Chains A and B, each alone.
Chain A
Amino acid sequence: MRRVPARATFGLILLVGLGALSLVAGRLFPDWLASTCPLGVDPTRPDRTVCELAFGGLWVSLAVGLCAGGLSTLIGLLVAAVARLVGGAWEQALLRGVDAVFALPDVLVVMVLQLAGQSLADAGHSGGLGPFGLMVASLALVGWAGPARMFRNRLATLEGQEFVAAARALGGGGTHVLRVHLWPALRPFALAVFLSRLPTAILTESTVSFFGIARMEPMSLGRYLGTSYAALIYEGGARVVLPAWALLVLLVLGASLASQALSASPRKAT
């Protein structure tokens, strides 16, 4: 019996392949990439080729997406678990808070958090967070609400099943049922939610970096395009824009195929 749907396998292979390619080409062998790049040098940075900057940027964007997606999924999972454990009016109040956070647009809130974080860093109170850490923290603080809602709903559905009722009837407490019975059934869904957060985090980071608000070093894909957008407009930048765009699209395609296939696959209540 197939455990992982074919679409999810394809999506995961695409994601891992892009990650490996960006690591090998952008970080391990940048000289080889520089000498073989068919797109030539970047118009605003004559010492670097378009391929070096695009693959280097992909590596940074992917790293930000993985860390921020993972952290926001974890926070969402914790909030959902707490909400289900406390139940009643507290759960409803928690969900109202989750909805309020969810209603705010990611890009706007990340911009405000970046402004706050950078002001703290300039005053020497960064708490050890560099630009990378600050971006991951901002994205996680914005992105946990969606996963929290999804996990809470999935937990509520799973709790209605017979095996949970049996476990409770045998004296299983809330945390025991959650850890032993619900978590194994929730794991594939958690992976799907994480994969669905990945492109959102990458695109939000790209947009905020494009505005020049985030100080990502080395440059992510968004910052790479954002630092030279005036030159791209006036000198025509399709040669520069298209590779970065293609990499972003492939990244999103991989993550969304894997996420959709995993969340649609039959749920096993083990």
Chain B
Amino acid sequence: MRSVLQKLARQLVLVPLVAVASYFLMAMLPLTTESEAKRQVSPELAASYRRDLGIGEPLGFLRPWQKLWRGERLGTSAQGVTGDELARKLSGSVGVGLLALPLALTWALGFAMVRTRWRRGRWAALGDVVPALAFGTPVFIPALLLAPAVVERGNMLPELCAALVTSIWPGIFLGTLVGDSLETELSRDYVRTALGKGLAPGTVLRRHVLPNVLPALLDAVGPVATALLAGSFAAERVLGLPYFGQLYVLAVLNKQVAVVVVATTTFASLLVVVSLAVELTRYAVDPRSREARA
């Protein structure tokens, strides 16, 4: 448990680092007020940005968080956000991510099984082509192809489609890892021994091989969760879902700098939570992780 806490502490350092770095990056931005500049902001708006970020105030970097805590609107216009709205939008994105996770695991297990079967057959080349196809497809492309059919239907269909298109690449990525791990484990002596003693192949797979393969899956869940959340940004934008990704993109486009600071830090915190969940799961399901640290 100590090592889990150590890892958590290392990850937690990321949150204040991101908060401070993003704050000072935004606070240093020159907001042009000259009329000839292409994307200028008015002097009133620039003053509002500075108030929003607490520039020139003691402990100004806490100002955006203070406003959120008090329930005030962060940002300089109707495109700003309150703490409640931020939580709602975040829960929407997390919901899409949670829908995408089982879909990604389904893609992963399916692809791993098929790839192991293809490995030495005439379809072996597909083991390379399918990951390239999945990785070479930015999330917005399948979203664009599906959007005409679903964007105005509602009834959670856009959310389901967002989860589907977001899950493809992470699923195939996980499948590639699991497939490689599966092949390594299937060639080991203990599998031959178990089969030689008369156990059915399905039982060997379930009882002996999968417990050794699943830690490889856990190693990749962290990056995959990041990919799912980041991928949902594009899907939300195309499918018109008013969640965290849409909020973030609009905040950047409209130079809502305080919203960018808060949203970036929130995203980093979310990654820490995912990382903690992965470590706790690993601690619970993988005895080797407990033994190695004892």
User: B-contacting residues of A (Cβ < 8 Å)?
Assistant: 7, 96, 99-100, 103-108, 111-112, 114-116, 118-120, 122-123, 125, 199, 203, 206-207, 210-213, 222, 225-226, 229, 232-234, 236-238, 241, 244-245, 248-253, 256-257, 260
Contacts and interface: CB of A to CB of B under 8 A. Distances in A.
Interface residues of B, number: 56
B238 A249 contact: no
Contact of A111 (B11, B14, B252): B252
B10 interface: yes
B133 to A, nearest CB: 5
B258 to A, nearest CB: 13
A252 B37 contact: no
Nearest to A241: B144
Given A111-B249, A232-B147, 15 more contacts: A105-B226, A115-B257, A119-B30, A122-B30, A207-B140, A210-B140, A211-B237, A211-B252, A225-B141, A229-B144, A233-B148, A248-B138, A249-B132, A253-B133, A256-B132
Contacts of B271: 103-105
Nearest to A99: B10
Contacts of A211: 233-234, 237, 249, 252-253
Contacts of A256: 128, 131-132, 135
Nearest to A235: B148
Main secondary structure of the interface of B (DSSP, over half): helix
Given A108-B267, A233-B238, A115 B132 contact: no
Interface string B8-45: 00110110011000100110111110000111100000
A229 B136 contact: no
Nearest to B250: A211
B138 A111 contact: no
B183 to A, nearest CB: 14
Interface string B220-238: 0010001101100110011
A114 B253 CA distance: 10
B204 to A, nearest CB: 29
A114 B255 CA distance: 11
B268 A104 contact: yes
B30 A123 contact: yes
Contacts of B18: 104
A12 to B, nearest CB: 15
B230 A245 contact: no
Nearest to B226: A105
B230 to A, nearest CB: 4
A244 B39 CA distance: 30
Contacts of A236: 148
Given A123-B30, A199-B135, A252-B135, A115 B148 contact: no
Given A248-B136, A256-B132, A115 B252 contact: yes
Contact of A257 (B10, B132, B275): B132
A264 to B, nearest CB: 12
B129 interface: yes
The 6 closest A-B pairs by CB, nearest first: A252-B136, A123-B30, A249-B136, A253-B132, A105-B230, A119-B29
B136 to A, nearest CB: 3
Given A105-B226, A211-B249, A236-B148, A199 B14 contact: no
